[in-house]
Structure 1
């Protein structure tokens, strides 16, 4: 799909591949969120970190990537620092020593703190200008560049006959801002409504589907 003159591949796995930059872009991984909720006594699923990392492995194996760019909210909160979650991320990172990883700080990153230096990640404040695009976390327009952002965890509700409903992550392509769905497996979502000038692309297990 062409966005502001850049060819972007919107993937069913809730990530964008930018072939010209050989970059994989993901938003809102929220590593450590499930562990934080379990520490509070909430019954939440196990294995979300492992599934997220395995998904990253599959995407990196499938696409020619020299960079992995997180559009904010890499860690969910301070409790993720020094946790088993980060041990798993560190083991995963050791398997990709030549991969450049960039984190553009989001609101949760400001609260959680930067990832440890051992992960060898570059960390920057938003926006990061790259070609015709402004990469950031908050979906605020930029005066000169089209924005790729996360933060809102957009989902779209498909309704069928009777009470049939299907809730799918989606990409929201506006005139100035494109929203990515949340990459993390335990992140929730914000139901979006179609607006004039906005295109919605649903991310389903079978592939991506643009709403007519």
Structure 2
């Protein structure tokens, strides 16, 4: 785990590609994209099985390890309307029933508007961005906001490590600029996009169970 300060708040970066606002006992999860694999399979694309179970299992472990009382999803909880397969919806319902004490909030992202809101039985608080929490604004889209530090998702950031092409690795990362911080995509079946660094930005790469700050080249 790595601790930094954003918007006057301590923020713990977690190698599971999530972040924790300890003062609020709140986990921040960006881009879960539940049901993305089943959406692809419905188009006839062969993709891995079990990605929803993997994502929900990771959530369980994070809640247990951090003692979180709330999860805020920073957009794109469900991937698409095609994600609402019976097996996917049943898996999320069972996960929710196993965590009845958790407060769940979804800050709508672009995929949520196409996929639709989670069923009311899942007891989500559903809001449009921004969700203001002391000195930070919790959003899906990484756009600056006067007077607040924005924490967002949407971009699925990664950073290149290594030199020559065959030794080059792309690792998911946290990317913090002067006004906006972007979390890596949490879902187990999501793509990644290289970041564009600005002067003074801080970037933290994730490799297995470790987080390391990366120097700007």
TM-score by length of 2: 0.95
- Written as runs of structure 1 = structure 2, the 5 A alignment for 1:1-212 is 1-161=4-164, 163-212=166-215
For residues 98-129 of structure 1, the C-alpha deviation after alignment (integer angstroms, 9 at most, x for no partner) is 10000000000011110001111110000000
* CA offset digits 1:150-183 (Å, max 9, x no partner): 0000011112456201111000000000000000
CA distance in 2, matches of 1:138, 1:163: 33
SS at match of 1:10: strand
Distance in 1, matches of 2:70 and 2:56, equals 15
Contact 1:81–1:115 (Cα < 8 Å) also in 2: no
Aligned length: 212
**Contact 2:38-2:85 within 8 A present in 1 as well:** no
Q: Does structure 2 retain, via aligned residues, the 8 Å contact 1:23–1:67? A: yes
Aligned Cα RMSD in Å?
1.1
- Partner-residue secondary structure (3-state), 1:54: helix
Give the C-alpha shift of residue 20 in structure 1: 0.1
> 1: distance between equivalents of 2:165 and 2:172?
22
Runs (4+) of structure 1 moved beyond 3 Å? none
- 2:89 and 2:163 mapped to 1: Cα distance? 41
Q: Secondary structure at the match of 2:24?
A: coil
Q: Which runs of 5+ in 2 are unaligned?
A: none
